[in-house]
Amino acid sequence: MTQDFLSPSAAAACRRPLAEAYTLPPAAYTDAGLWHVEKSRVLARSWLPLARVDQVPGAGDYLSADLGGEPVMVVRGEDGAVRVLSRVCRHRAALVAEGQGCRKLFTCPYHAWSYDAAGNLVRAPLMEGAEGFDPATLGLHEIRSEIWEGFVMATLDDDAPAFAPQISGFADYFANYDLGSFFVARTLDYSHGWNWKVLAENFMEAYHHIAAHSKTLEPGYHARDSQVPDTDQPWSILHMPAADRDTPQPPVPGLEDWQLRDLIAANAFPGLLLAVQGPFMAWYQMTPLAADRLDLKIHLCFPDWMLAMDDFAAILDGAEASIRGVHAEDIAANDLVWAGLNAPLTRAGPLSPLEKSIWQMNQWWLDQMGA
């Protein structure tokens, strides 16, 4: 129960107006019992990003993922539709697929039950004599999904409100970027020993530029200039204006000058994390695995028209070097935060006005947790 880790006074301190508000208490990040509550109340009921549609371009292409503890896969069927299917065999619960690839059939390695790319059970050997056995009722479970701007979003909650209407303001903010035309050009893989909220909060504020990124991000995007718009929807956008407003930028159709220069970090709660600048998007796909563990894939994404550029390979290499460098600094900072959160004397601390995005997500998180 929420009262076991969050007292009324601690919740009230988080609920104060931003200028007076405190962070979540350490147990909200470190407590293993809370993780199980959070997993059922937040992660299992939310829309989470699993893939980009360009990652499964052809019939039978699939990509494995974890959705709130459910092993799933994003699959493109022979009919061209992109579905999210459970990877758990309907017989004895072995996983029918791992990783990614292309298949016409997903055959369970345990007893050779086989499913097509739409999840239908098409072969179950030696089941003669099993009374009432009906293959039509034993397909892989299909998970509720939506495609938003090329992202395959999914939820385990059949009663959750549709995703797109909840983030209409978020979509309006990014309308000029045409995110649906972006493709994954390269993926960087990481595993981290923190709670997922440590990563999300670090992603959503520029205050730490003055220390953690003093030689990388702060010279180009001053922490003091960062802005976060108000919203009554489940998302937050951190707008970081570029310090250099004078150097001409190569034009990009549809984008205004500020969109070419400024860096935007955004989160459609709890975990659609996007860093966008001009014709570039870094999608931080985090998979929470435990209270103290997450996997992270940073996908470097570009609009499809950039593939024709002669220097695209160099642009991609430069983007990777930049992202790896900044993330290395974030790893060092988050390691320090995690050590402190696990210290016995640590208590909630006051938020800076520059941490409005964290405050916005905390309000949403407390609502989901019933606090």
* 97-113 pLDDT, tens digit each: 999 999 999 999 999 99
Residue 11 phi/psi, 5-degree rounding, is -65, -40
Q: Domain check: are 206 and 295 in the same one? A: yes
Task: Evaluate if pTM is beyond 0.85.
Answer: yes
Which domain range does residue 333 map to? Answer: 2-46+164-369
Which of 132, 159, 186 delimits the end of a domain? Answer: 159
Report pLDDT for 240. 98
pLDDT in tens, 153-200: 999 999 999 999 999 999 999 999 999 999 999 999 999 999 999 999
Upstream peptide bond of 229 is cis (omega within 30 degrees of 0)? no
Q: Which residues pair with 197 in a beta bridge?
A: none
Q: Domain check: are 39 and 89 in the same one? A: no
Positive or negative, the CA dihedral 161, 167, 172, 177 is negative
Domain of 84: which CATH number? Answer: 2.102.10.10
Q: Domain check: are 90 and 39 in the same one? A: no
Q: Domain check: are 210 and 287 in the same one? A: yes
Report pLDDT for 7. 87
Strand 114-116 and strand 121-123: the pairing is antiparallel
Q: Domain check: are 247 and 222 in the same one? A: yes
Q: What number is the average pLDDT over the span 296-302?
A: 98
Which of 112, 134, 159 delimits the end of a domain? Answer: 159
Q: Domain check: are 77 and 21 in the same one? A: no
Structure tokens at 8: 């009324």
Q: Domain check: are 220 and 147 in the same one? A: no
Q: Which residues pair with 201 in a beta bridge?
A: none
Which of 130, 159, 188 delimits the end of a domain? Answer: 159
Structure tokens at 366: 């407390």
Q: Domain check: are 112 and 248 in the same one? A: no
Rounded-to-integer distance, Cα 141 and Cα 256, Å: 44
Q: Domain check: are 213 and 301 in the same one? A: yes
CB atoms within 10 A of CB 34: 20
Supply the DSSP symbol for 222. Answer: -
Report pLDDT for 1. 41
Supply the DSSP symbol for 25. Answer: P
Burial 160-186 (b: 16+ CB within 10 A, else e): eeebeebbeebbebbeebbbebbbbbe
Q: Domain check: are 18 and 55 in the same one? A: no
Q: Domain check: are 42 and 54 in the same one? A: no
Q: Which residues pair with 343 in a beta bridge?
A: none
Domain of 294: which CATH number? Answer: 3.90.380.10
Rounded-to-integer distance, Cα 341 and Cα 349, Å: 11
| Inter-residue contact 300 to 316 (CB < 8 Å) | yes
Q: Domain check: are 176 and 153 in the same one? A: no
User: What's the number of domains the chain is made of?
Assistant: 2
Average pLDDT across the chain, whole number: 97
Length of the chain, please?
Answer: 371
Report pLDDT for 4. 53
